Amino acid sequence: MKIIFFLILIISAVTAYNFKSLELSLLDGGFSWTMSKLLPYIILVIEGALLAYSFAKGFKIKAKIVKVLIVIILLAAPFTAGFVLHPIFDGDFSSEGSEVKASTVKVDEKYNLLIVTIPDCPYCLESIFRLKQIKKRNPSVKMLFSVCTEDKQKLSLYKELIAGDFDIALAKDIEASVKLAEGHFPTFVKLKKGLPTYKWSNDQFGAGAMDEFEGEIK
């Protein structure tokens, strides 16, 4: 049982350290965004239970209070380590956005998703990775990364990172686009026949929202 304890201890450490890799593997394996984000935490909880059990069975400690304390610590240790390295933020599982009641923004009808951004925006840069994952999981999806600027040179870094995986262009109507985003960049806008119907700010476009969006385009 002692060997099992140390084996589980090593596996737990590897799981916590490679949390993101496990999440991406689940996404690539066809799991939903929500389950891909939840399962690594669930695995860590299970590993904590196995770790505590194998310690309780494999190690003899005369002081029962000490043993109970160690068991409790081991029970929580894998999940705590995973959470510290990869904390859960408010928007990670979010799906709550808002309907677009009126907007003069219009794009080509082929697009399913409009991403309203501004130049030199770190959150817009970070969003490109998620968008690439959506495109990878849904090859037929059409997305437009719209940048609110008149300076084409401001697109260079975004273009480099997007690398042709989806479209990028200057916003045709900057004032209307900024109004649509309500000052939140990036804003993810669901489209129907080229018109905005529903939108999520960056902290709303979590796993739930991405599952909802993918479910509608499949």
Domain edge (last residue) among 62, 85, 108: 85
Residue given tokens 């689940």 in the structure block? 26
**Same domain (yes/no): 62, 102:** no
d(CA 135, CA 145): 13
| Of the residues 33, 62, 85, the one at which a domain ends | 85
- Residues 213 and 112 grouped into a single domain: yes
**pLDDT (0 to 100) of residue 187:** 98
Q: What residues contact residue 9 under an 8 Å CB cut-off, 6+ apart?
A: 51
Q: Does one domain contain both 142 and 192? A: yes
Q: Are residues 65 and 115 in the same domain?
A: no
| 202 in the same domain as 168 | yes
* pLDDT at residue 1, as a whole number: 79
Q: 53 and 135, same structural domain? A: no
Which residue among 61, 85, 109 closes a domain?
A: 85
Whether 124 is covered by a domain: the verdict is: yes
pLDDT by residue for the chain (218 residues), tens only, comes to 789 999 999 999 999 999 999 999 999 999 999 999 999 999 999 999 999 999 999 898 889 899 999 999 999 999 999 999 999 988 899 989 999 988 999 999 999 999 999 999 999 999 999 999 999 999 999 999 999 999 999 999 999 999 999 999 999 999 999 999 999 999 999 999 999 999 999 999 999 999 999 999 87
* Structure tokens given for 187: 């804003």
Domain containing residue 19: 2-85
Residues 201 and 124 in one domain: yes
Q: Report d(CA 41, CA 81) in Å as an integer.
A: 10
Q: What is the pLDDT of residue 25?
A: 96
DSSP code per residue over 86-115: SPPPTTTT----EE---------TT-SEEE
- Are 120 and 210 in a shared domain? yes
pLDDT, residue 62, reads: 85
17 CB burial (10 A radius; 0-12, 13-18, 19+): middle
Residue among 40, 117, 154, 46 nearest 86 (CA):
40
Statement to judge: residues 27 and 132 lie in one domain: no
Q: With H, G, I as helix, E, B as strand and everything else as coil, classify residue 199.
A: strand
Same domain, 145 and 210: yes
| pLDDT of amino acid 164 | 96
Residue-level pLDDT at 218: 76
Domain membership flag for residue 92 = no
Quick check: is 91 in a domain?
Answer: no
What's the pLDDT score for residue 173? 96
- Tell me if 173 sits within 8 A of 104, measured CB to CB: yes
Looking at the domain assignment, is residue 195 inside a domain? yes
**CA 107 from centroid of its chain's CA atoms:** 26
CA–CA dist 19, 203 (Å, integer): 21
**Are 107 and 201 within one domain?**
yes
Q: Is 80 in the same domain as 103?
A: no
- Total domain count, the chain: 2
| 158-182 as b/e: b if 16+ CB within 10 A | beebbeebbbbeebeeeebbbebbe
| Tokens encoding 196 | 């905005």
